[in-house]
């Protein structure tokens, strides 16, 4: 069984004016996402600024999303680290507060070997009963999961899927060909339909923070067999998907939510607000799509 099919929102972490986590707002965002069609909530990922959350904040954000979702959709907790033992601890904490699955990013900075990646992910997956989704995003971590490593990890009963954000469609095609039992989710909004076309189960989406219905519908139409409509919707919103990456994620999407009145607060340093030029561009594209 897949953890989910469709659009999973990589949800932002809202902050108060004094830069504390706004749990009330996180619960409200989670509830709204579900009401607007989102098929899963991914909390404390890259878009959720997990790297600047304290241990207590990280655990509390996961618990907050779980309570707000109230079983309506799966909640997937980002619990990755470049310290395997710390990732194991955080993964156990996520399971203890009710997460349905975990998202585990490749270790960053260490430059682990492929053998090290296998040992890392197996130790994490062995530590809990909930499913593990691997997260491959070499542009941010400097570490790529090779095909043979995917083949080895796919043998593990708890390693059920991969969020592929390598951007390498040819490499992703080989995962589908060589690892038929491993679910694959697009980790890039602008590759959603190409990955669905190869057999993907959906997308873990940044754009869904802003257009949850659209990202859900792209996937739902595809799975219903209405593929021309799915692709047309995907192409219609492609510019918005791309412009949400005019600066490093999650800077643009968090700014966009603030422009739209969600009051999700500032970013935590070293992330900072958009330049005036990019702010004008982003507001322009939101107006172009009649969102602002």
Would you give per-residue pLDDT tens digits along the chain (292 residues)?
A: 899 999 999 999 999 999 999 999 999 999 999 999 999 999 999 999 999 999 999 999 999 999 999 999 999 999 999 999 999 999 999 999 999 999 999 999 999 999 999 999 999 999 999 999 999 999 999 999 999 999 999 999 999 999 999 999 999 999 999 999 999 999 999 999 999 999 999 999 999 999 999 999 999 999 999 999 999 999 999 999 999 999 999 999 999 999 999 999 999 999 999 999 999 999 999 999 999 9
In a domain, 99, yes or no: yes
163 is catalytic: yes
Q: Which of 23, 25, 59, 135 is catalytic?
A: 135
CATH number at 200 reads 3.20.20.70
Q: Is residue 279 part of a domain?
A: no
Domain that holds residue 119: 6-235
Residue 275 lies inside a defined structural domain of this protein: no
DSSP characters for 132-149?
EEEEE-HHHHS----HHH
pTM passes above 0.95: yes
Residue 208 falls inside a structural domain: yes
Is residue 254 a part of any domain in this protein? Answer: no
Residue ranges of alpha helices (H) inside the chain are 23-35, 55-69, 84-96, 114-126, 138-141, 147-153, 169-178, 192-197, 212-223, 227-236, 238-243, 251-259, 276-288
- 150 counts as catalytic: no
Nearest partner of 47 among 101, 11, 71, judged by Cα? 11
- Domain count of the fold of the chain: 1
Contact 149, 178 (CB under 8 A): no
Whether 272 is covered by a domain: the verdict is no
CA–CA dist 116, 240 (Å, integer): 38
Q: Report yes or no on 292 lying in a domain.
A: no
Catalytic residue among 25, 59, 163, 254: 163
For residue 137, being part of any structural domain is answered with: yes
Helix (H, G, I), strand (E, B) or coil at 127: coil
How many CB atoms sit inside 10 A of residue 119's CB? Answer: 12
**Rounded Cα distance, 222 and 197, in Å:** 9
- pLDDT at residue 76, as a whole number: 98
């Amino acid at each position: 069984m897949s953890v989910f099919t469709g659009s999973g929102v990589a949800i932002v972490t809202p902050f108060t004016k004094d830069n504390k986590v706004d749990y009330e707002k996180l619960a409200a965002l989670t509830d709204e996402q579900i009401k607007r069609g989102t098929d899963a909530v991914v909390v404390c990922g890259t878009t959720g600024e997990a790297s600047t959350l304290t241990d207590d904040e990280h655990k509390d954000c996961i618990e907050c999303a779980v309570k707000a979702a109230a079983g309506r959709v799966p909640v997937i907790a980002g619990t990755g680290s470049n310290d395997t033992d710390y990732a194991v601890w955080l993964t156990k904490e996520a399971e203890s507060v009710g997460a349905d699955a975990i998202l585990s990013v490749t270790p960053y900075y260490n430059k682990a070997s492929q053998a090290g990646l296998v040992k890392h992910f197996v130790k994490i997956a062995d530590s809990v009963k909930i499913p593990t989704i691997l997260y491959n995003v070499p542009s941010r971590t400097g570490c790529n999961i090779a095909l043979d490593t995917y083949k080895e990890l796919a043998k593990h009963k708890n390693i059920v899927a991969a969020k592929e954000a390598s951007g390498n469609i040819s490499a992703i095609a080989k995962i589908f060909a060589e690892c038929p039992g491993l679910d694959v989710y697009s980790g890039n909004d602008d590759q959603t339909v190409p990955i669905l076309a190869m057999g993907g189960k959906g997308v873990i989406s940044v754009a869904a923070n802003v257009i949850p219905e659209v990202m859900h519908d792209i996937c739902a139409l595809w799975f219903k067999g209405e593929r021309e409509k799915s692709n047309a919707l995907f192409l219609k919103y492609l510019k918005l998907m791309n412009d949400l990456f005019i600066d490093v994620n999650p800077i643009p999407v968090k700014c966009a939510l603030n422009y739209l009145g969600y009051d999700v607060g500032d970013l935590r340093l070293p992330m900072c607000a958009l330049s005036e030029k990019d702010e004008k561009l982003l507001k322009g594209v939101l107006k172009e799509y009649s969102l602002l």
